[in-house]
Amino acid sequence: MLVASLTAFVGESYLWTRRNDLPVDSMLMQQRFRLGYAPLPELVPVRPGSFDMGEQDQEFLKRVPEQSLPNFGAPGKHVDVATSFSLGKYEVTYEELDYYVWEQQRAGHADVKYPLTAKGGRERRPVVNVTWNEAAAYAEWLGKRKHLECRLPTEAEWEYAARAGARTAYPWGDQVRRVRQGEEEVMANCRGCGSPWDGEESAPVGSFPPNALGLYDTSGNVWEWTCSPWSERFDGNEGRCADEQESGGRVLRGGSWGVSQDGARSAGRGGNDPDNRHSGIGFRVLCASPIFGH
């Protein structure tokens, strides 16, 4: 009887992976969730302040074709970030989003689906293949779990936190690799960054040193959705969130495993349709107190 029950249990778990287009090793994940494992993003506090947004290296900008200047935030703009907030220490992982989907489906929301598995697998890899609206829905759900106001960061909040006070090309300096004691240290995952994942796939979150605030992977790995609508120039949209029904693209920040070293600069930016999914686009969440949030 026990053997028959166990066989049926394993069989049901296997069919669950097939129904949801998940790898077979997700059966273990399912059991961990059943036993109470509830992975949620770690948050890092960010204090208010001001900064110069956009590419700061004028010599670099002289080499950029005019049509590409918007992708480096040129011309730049001085921005005040008036309110403190907390930002995801890492990009949201497959493990964290899978738990959200697990909870939603258990609550009867069958329309909430598991995202497609990217090259490299799931678990601690940054989740990709999620639309802007799906990322925003996850952030809203997380806020209810944490009793906070959570959303995607604005473009200005994202760059402010990613720079962590630095005006250099990357949070650690002007070169894509940092030199310590005469040796080069690989700092990110992008084409030419020097990592084992360059140009092929994402790295597990936290594979490289953090910035001065303790945030990981703000250069390379995967592009990150922000809540801001895309504009060619900084015109105020960098500091606001688009409405869910608002037409036009949404801003992506941070570069990815598939972009060049230049695309992974702190000022690097792009845009995409909010309904699109891509193997190089993920997100991280911003949370604030419901009293002091904005």
Give how many domains the chain has, as a whole number.
2
Q: What is the mean pLDDT of the chain?
A: 93
If asked whether residues 136 and 258 sit together in one domain, one would say: yes
Residues 197 and 229 in one domain: yes
**The dihedral formed by the CA atoms of 230, 231, 232 and 235, expressed in degrees to the nearest 10:** -150
Q: pLDDT digit string (tens) for 63-119?
A: 999 999 999 999 999 999 999 999 999 999 999 999 999 999 999 999 999 999 999
Residues 21 and 58 occupy one common structural domain: no
Has residue 188 been placed in a domain?
yes
pLDDT of residue 11: 62
Q: How far apart are CA 204 and CA 214, in angstroms?
A: 16
Q: Is residue 50 part of a domain?
A: yes
Asked if residue 176 is part of any domain, the answer here is yes
Supply the range of the domain harboring residue 262.
42-288
Which tokens sit at 66?
Answer: 């005019």
Query: Is residue 84 included in any domain, yes or no?
Result: yes
Q: Is residue 78 part of a domain?
A: yes
Q: Are residues 257 and 113 in the same domain?
A: yes
Specify whether 33 is located in the same domain as 82.
no
- Distance between CA atoms of 211 and 282, rounded to whole angstroms? 19
State residue 10's pLDDT score: 60
Mark whether 240 and 147 lie in a shared domain. yes
What confidence score (pLDDT) does residue 294 get?
42
Is residue 32 included in any domain, yes or no? yes
- Whether residue 269 sits in one domain with residue 207: yes
Q: What is the CATH number of the domain that holds 205?
A: 3.90.1580.10
30 and 58 within one domain: no
Residues 15 and 59 in one domain: no
Query: pLDDT tens digit string along 25-53?
Result: 889 988 999 999 999 999 999 999 999 99
Please compute, for residue 200, the number of CA atoms within 13 A of its CA located in the half-sphere on the CB side. 9
Q: Are 165 and 22 within one domain?
A: no
Looking at the domain assignment, is residue 294 inside a domain?
no
Model confidence at 6, pLDDT cuts 50, 70, 90, reads very low
> Does the residue 293 lie in any domain?
no
Q: Say yes or no to pLDDT of 270 above 50.
A: yes
pLDDT, average across residues 212-226 = 98
Same domain, 85 and 24: no
Claim to verify: residue 164 and residue 29 sit in the same structural domain: no
pLDDT at 3 (0 to 100): 45
CB atoms within 10 A of CB 278: 17
